[in-house]
Amino acid sequence: MKGIIFAFMGGACITLQGVANSRISQDIGIWQAATITQFTGFILALAILLFVRDGKSQGFKQVKPLYLIGGAFGAVIIFSEVTAIHQIGVTFTISALLIAQLCLTILIDMNGWFGVVKQKMKLPQFAGIGMMIAGVLILKF
């Protein structure tokens, strides 16, 4: 039960983050909003890191440099999501976002890109994506 609540709150917070960024962007601008929210998040995460010390800072050296800059995508993700929310609303934005996210994940897994373990996808994964796209079409009619 506790796990369900955590997972549910996690999903709620992801959407809330997009909505809050949209609201803040209306006043101070998108890049300003992206800069400020990620800065405060960074400071808190750093404080927690120094407190719990769960990380092996040595570990960063073992990671391919390309993977270290994944966080920079955050700027473009926030820009795209906020602009989309302003244009097509939260529900449609999140639906399309999730479909693209799962589709690309499938593609990466099937081809073993970025050194992930190659996997065969089965019917349920394709049926699931198909249902999600059907759901988006229903949303629009």
Partner 1 sequence: MFLGLLLALAAGSLVSMQNIFNTKVNEHTGSWATTTLVLGMGFVASLTIGLLFEGKQMFTLQNMQPWYWISGLIGVGVVICLVQGTKLLGPTYAISIVLTAQLAFALLWDSLGWLGLEQVPFTINKLLGVLVIVGGIVVFKLGGRRESQKSKEASVLGLE
Interacting residues with partner 1 between 102 and 131 (CB under 8 A): 102-105, 108-109, 114-117, 119-125, 127-131
State how far the Cα of 99 lies from the Cα of 128, in Å rounded to an integer.
Answer: 10
Report the 3 state secondary structure along 2-62.
HHHHHHHHHHHHHHHHHHHHHHHHHHHCHHHHHHHHHHHHHHHHHHHHHHHCCCCHHHHHH
Position 98 contacts partner 1 (CB under 8 A): yes
Torsion of CA 24, 82, 8, 39, to 10 degrees: -50
> Interaction with partner 1 in 67-96: which residues (CB under 8 A)?
67-81, 83-96
Position 101 contacts partner 1 (CB under 8 A): yes
Say which residue the tokens 């994506």 belong to. 129
Find the shortest distance in angstroms from Cβ 51 to partner 1: 9
Find the shortest distance in angstroms from Cβ 95 to partner 1: 6
Contact string 32-71 vs partner 1 (x = CB under 8 A):
xxxxxxxxxxx-xxx-xx--x-xxxx-xx-xxx-xxxxxx
Find the shortest distance in angstroms from Cβ 138 to partner 1: 4
Position 29 contacts partner 1 (CB under 8 A): yes
| Phi/psi-derived region of residue 115, left when phi > 0, alpha when psi is between -120 and 50, beta in every other case | left
Position 9 contacts partner 1 (CB under 8 A): yes
Find the shortest distance in angstroms from Cβ 21 to partner 1: 8
